[in-house]
Structure 1
Amino acid sequence: MALGLGLAGTAVAQTTVKLGCVLPLSGGSAAVGNQTRAGVIAAVEQVNAAGGIKSLGGAKLQALFGDSQSKADVGVSETERLIQRENVAVLCGAFNSAVTFPATELAERNKTPWVAVGAVKDEITERNFKYVFRINNKATYDAREQLEAMALLAKETGKSVKRVALFYEGGDWGRSHVANVRKMAASYGLEIVLDEPAPPNQVDFTSQLLKIRAAKPDALILALYTPDQLLFTRQLAEQRLDLPFGVHSAGGGTEDPSFYATVAPKSVAYYFVQEDWQVDALEVNKDPLLHAADKRTRELLGYGMSAYVSQGLSAVYVIADALERGKSAERQALRDALSATDISAGPALFPGYQRIKFDEQGQNTFAHGVISENIDGKRRTVWPLANRAAGTKPVWPVPGWAQRANN
C-alpha cells in the first residue's frame, strides 16, 4: 500500500502492484531491450487507463526496470535488487537466454514468479521450476518452423534445399538454436555442410564468409544479435555471395527495426526471418489497442511495433489477467494464477498466438511464430499458410545478385 496526497493535501491510499522487468537496456542487445521496455510501458498504461486491476479495487500496475547490460552477472544482480529491495510481485524479461537462464534460477529460489520474454533456450522451461513461465517459442519451436517453411516452399514449387550452412552467435541462444537444427536436419532431407559459431566481438566476417562460399550451401541458417547481424549482412552483400534458397534467420537482429533502419534495403532482399510475431499484423488486425500501442511505441522509440514490443505487451497482459483471476498480488497466489492461465482472446495474443496456456514446466505449448520473406522491400508472412495474406507470392528460389534489379 503506497500513500499519495490528494488535492487538499490529505493522505489518500493508492494500491499499486510492482512489476519488475530485467532487460538489456544497454550493451549489445540494447535496441531489443528498449523495444521490449516500450511494450511493457504501453501495456501498463493501457491497463491502468482501463481501470487497473479491478479485482484488487482498481490497483494500478507500476513497472520497474533493471538493466542487465546484456551480461548474465549484471542481470542476476538486478533480479536480486528487484526482488529484495523493490519487493516486486512478479518479474519479466530478460531477452538474452544467457541472462534469463541464471536470473530465473534466482527468482525460483526466491519464489517470485517470472514471465520470460524473448529468451528461447529450451532448458529455461525444462528444469521442473514452478515459478517460471514462458509465453513465446522455445528454441525447438523456432528451428522446427524454419525447416517447416523450407519444406512448404519446396512442396509448392518442387524445388528443395539439400545443403545448409549454419552460422550463429556462440552464446546460449545461438548454440541452442543450431543444436535443434542438427537434430531435425536429417528428417527434412538436409545435409549440414558448415557449422560455424561467430567469434565474440568480431569486427570482420570475411574469413567466415569465405568458408560459407567454399561449402557451397543451398541456404544459410543464421542466429545473430543485431550488431553482428548488421556487419554480416553488409559484408555478405559486398561479397555478393549467392545462396540459391537464401538466408534464413532465426530472428535476433533481423527482427529489430533498428537493423532495417540501418542497412541498405537491397542487402536484405529475399531474407527469410523466423518472426516472433506476424510482421504484417497491423495490416490485418484492426484492434484499437494494438494500433494505440503502435502509436505509443513511435512516441517512445521513433518507430513502431516489432516482435519485441509485442512480447512486452503480451507479458503485461498475461500478468494482469493472472492478477484479476487470482485477486491477489501476493507472490504465491500470483504464481498459482499464472499456472492456471488459459487465454484465447485479447491483447495478450498480439504477437500472433491463438492461445496461451502453460504446461507443467511453464511453457506455452500454443506458442508459434511465422516465417516472413522480404519481397519488393516489404516483409511478408509466407509460413504458415494460414497466416499468409492473399496476394503474397513467395520467391523461391531467390535470384542471384547479378539477376537482381538496382545492384
Structure 2
Amino acid sequence: MSHFIGVFCKLVFMLKSLNVNFFKLFIKIYFRGGDKMKKALVMLLVVALLAGAFGFAPARAGNIVIQMTIGSTKAYVNSKEVILDQPPVIENGRTLVPFRFIGEAIGAKIDWDPVKKAVSYILEDTKIILIIGSTTAFVNGVATKIDVAPKILSGRTMVPVRFISETIGAKVDWNSKTRMVTVTVSPVVKVVKIGGIYPLTGPNAPMGIGDKQAILLAVDEINANGGIKSLGGAKIEVVFADSEGDPKVAMTAAERLIVKDGVIAILGSILSSTTAAIAPVCEKYKTPMVNEGSTSVDLTKHGWKYFFRVTPHDGLYCESMLSFLKDVSKKSGQEIKTIGIMYENTLFGKTAADVWKEKAPAYGFTIVADVPYSAGSADLSSEVLVLKKASPDVILLASYVQDSILITKTMQTLDFNAKAVMGLDGGFIVPSYIEALGPLANYISAEARWSPDIKKPLSQKVNAEYYSKYGQNMDGHNARAYTAAMVLFNAIEEVGSTDKEKIRQA
C-alpha cells in the first residue's frame, strides 16, 4: 500500500507542475471516489503521461522537420519551438549545430566519449563517429573526410549538420535570405511494395505468367544492385493478384492491394478490359498505375491522372499493319484489294476493328467482312465460314491466345486460305501459340512490339537473362512488362520517396 501511495504522490506532483486546474479536478475526484476509482485514476494518469498528453509526446511516425537559424537559439522540430544552449554557427562555409540537439531531433541514439573526445550517432543500421578537431569521420567503421571538424563552443559540442543529415538519408535545405537550415528526415523505408495485377489463371494465363516473370526479373536486378538507393537501399517487393482476365475480379484486386496490402503503385494488366476496370480504382485512391501492354485507344481518353502506359496504342499499331500490307503488295506484285476482319468483342478487339475500318480506305483497301465473336468461344466455325464466303485477300485478326489457336485450327479444318493472315499482337506472339500449332503456325504473321533478334545490347542482355532463368525468349508482352517495371522503379528512385503524388509527377 505504501508503494502505491508513493507512486501516486510522484504522479500528482508531476500533474500539478503541468496543469493546475486539472490537478484540482483530479484531487477532488480522487478523494471522493472509492478504491477502484482511485486505482483507475492513477492508471489513467500513467497512460496519459506516457502517451504525451501533457507535452511529453513521442517522435511522430512521419517526416521530422528540423529548422535552425544561424545565430539564433530558437529552433523548431515539427513546428514545436526548442531553445538551444548554443546557436548554430557557420564555420568555413559549413553550418555547425549542437551535437545533442540534432541527434535527439532525428531520433538517433547518441553518445560522448570524453577520453577520445568523440561523439557518435546510431540510427537504424548507420553509426557515425566524429572526433573533436578532426576532419575524419567514421561511417559504419569506414573513414570519411568531412569539410569542417567538430568543435566545442561555450562548453557545447558543435557538429556539421549537413554531413550528419545526408549520411542518414535526410534532406538538407539552406535559405540564404533567412539564414535558416531545414533538415527533413523521412521514415526509414526497408521495403517498397508494388501491386501487380495479371491473368495468372484461365485462357490468358500464358501472357500473365510471362509478364509476372519479366517483372520479377526486373525486381531481382534492382534489388541485387542495392535496391532503391535514394531510399537507403530499400528493396522492391511486388504483391501479385490474379485478375483471371475478368474486369470485376481485377477491380476488386486493385482495391485490395491498395487498401489492405498498402502498395504504393500498380503494374498491370495486359487486357484492355481489365485495365479499364483497374484505372478508376487507382484514380480514386490516387495511386500511380503503369500499364505495359493494354493498347485500346480509349484508355487514354478518360483524363486519368494516375494512369501511365509504356506502349503506343492500337491506333498506331493497326494502321501500321495496313501500311505494311500496302508495301508488301507493291514490292511483291501481289494485288491486295480486300480485307476481312475478325475480332473478339472486348475493348481490345472492338477498338482495333474501329481503326481498321476507319483507316483501310486511305490505303486503298475495302473491308468485305466484319466478323466480331465472343471471346473464349468453344467453336468459331460459323464466324470463319462468314470470312470464307467473303473471300478476302487478307485476314486481320484481334484475338488472345486461346481464340488465336482455335481460329487457326478452324481455318485449316474448313480449308480456308487467304493470301495473308495477320494477327494484332495478342495471342499470336506468345510461345504457347506456336507450341500448340506446330507447323500450322507457319505463314501466320503478327504485328509485334519486340523480337529476340533486335540488335541492341540492352535488349540482348535482358533477353539472355530471361532465357537463362525461364528457358524461353521474351515476347512482345513480357518485354514491355519488364520496361513498365523499370519505368516505375526509376521514378521511385528519382523522387526518393514512397509518396504517391511525387511518384506520379516524376
TM-score (structure 2 length as normaliser)? 0.61
What aligned pairs does 1:187-198 form with structure 2 within 5 A after superposition?
Answer: 187-198=362-373
**Alignment of 1:292 onto 2:465:** yes
Deviation at 1:297, TM superposition (A): 2.8
- Tell me, in whole angstroms, the C-alpha distance in 1 between the residues paired with 2:455 and 2:239: 28
Residue pair 1:164, 1:194 contacting (<8 A) in 2 also? yes
Task: Indicate whether 1:332 and 2:505 are aligned.
Answer: no
Paired residue for 1:52, among 227, 246, 251?
A: 227
SS of structure 1 residue aligned to 2:254: helix
Q: What is the CA-CA distance between 1:282 and the residue it aligns to?
A: 7.5
Structure 1 residue 158, shift from structure 2 partner: 3.5
Provide the residue aligned with 2:185 in structure 1. Answer: none
Q: Number of aligned pairs? A: 322
**Matched residue type, 2:233:** G
Match in the other structure for 2:397:
222
Question: Equivalents in 2 of 1:33, 1:74: separation in Å?
Answer: 15
2:30 corresponding residue in structure 1: none
Distance in structure 2 (CA, Å) of the matches to 1:14 and 1:325? 15
Q: How far did 1:286 drift?
A: 6.5
CA-atom RMSD in angstroms? 1.9
Residues 135, 200 of structure 1: alpha-carbon distance in 2 compared, 3 angstrom cutoff: closer
Could you say which structure has the higher strand fraction?
2
Structure 2 distance, partners of 1:279, 1:166, is: 28
Q: Which residue of 1 aligns with 2:441?
A: 268
- Ranges in structure 2 where 5+ consecutive residues have no aligned partner: 1-60, 62-123, 126-187
Inter-partner Cα distance in structure 2 for 1:71 and 1:201: 12
CA-CA distance at 1:72 after TM superposition: 0.6
Partners of 1:166 and 1:196 within 8 A in 2: yes
Q: In the TM superposition, what is the alpha-carbon distance from 1:137 to its structure 2 partner?
A: 2.1
Q: Hey, what's the Cα distance between the residues in 2 that align with 1:50 and 1:132?
A: 28
Give the counterpart of 2:432 among 258, 261, 266.
258
**Partner in structure 2 of residue 239 of structure 1:** 414
Structure possessing the higher radius of gyration over alpha carbons: 2
Once the two structures are TM-superposed, the CA of residue 111 in structure 1 deviates from its matched residue by 0.6
- Cα distance change, pair 79–66 in 1 and its aligned pair in 2 (3 A): same
Kindly state the Cα deviation for residue 288 of structure 1 after the two structures are TM-superposed: 2.8
* Secondary structure at the counterpart of residue 436 of structure 2: coil
Segment of structure 1 superposing worse, 283-292 or 50-59: 283-292
* Structure-2 separation of matches of 1:174 and 1:220: 14
Q: Could you say which structure has the greater relative contact order, defined with CA pairs below 8 angstroms and 6 or more residues apart?
A: 1
Q: CA deviation at 1:327?
A: 1.4
For 2:473, give the aligned amino acid.
Answer: G
The offset of 1:157, in angstroms, is: 2.5
Q: Shift in Å at residue 130 of structure 1?
A: 1.1
Which is worse superposed, 255-264 or 232-241?
232-241
Alpha-carbon distance, 1:279 to partner? 4.5
- How far apart are residue 260 of structure 1 and its match? 1.0
1:74 maps to: 249
Pairwise CA distance, 1:145:
1.5
Cross-structure match for 1:319: 488
Q: Which residue, 80, 101, 113 being the options, matches 2:276?
A: 101
Q: How far is 1:177 from its partner?
A: 0.5
User: Which of the residues 477, 491, 496 maps onto 1:308?
Assistant: 477
Asked if structure 2 preserves the Cα contact closer than 8 Å seen for 1:151 and 1:160, the reply is no
Aligned pair 1:280/2:449, yes or no? no
- 2: distance between equivalents of 1:293 and 1:148? 32
2:417 corresponds to 1:248: no
Residue aligned with 1:35, SS: helix
Change (3 A) 1:133 1:200: closer
Match of 1:128 among 291, 303, 314: 303
Residues 22, 155 of structure 1: alpha-carbon distance in 2 compared, 3 angstrom cutoff: same
Deviates more, 1:270-279 or 1:58-67: 270-279
Q: What SS does structure 2 have at the residue aligned with 1:263?
A: helix
Distance 1:223 1:45 in 2: 34
Shift of 1:31: 1.1
DSSP-derived class of the 2:197 partner: strand
Correspondences of 1:59-208 after superposition (within 5 Å): 59-208=234-383
2:195 equivalent to 1:26 = no
CA distance in 1, matches of 2:493, 2:214: 20
Deviation string for 1:238-269 (max 9, x for gaps)? Answer: 3332202x10100111111111111122x122
CA contact (8 A) 2:217 2:482 kept: yes
Q: Which runs of 5+ in 1 are unaligned?
A: 2-10, 338-407
Equivalent residue letter for 1:170: N
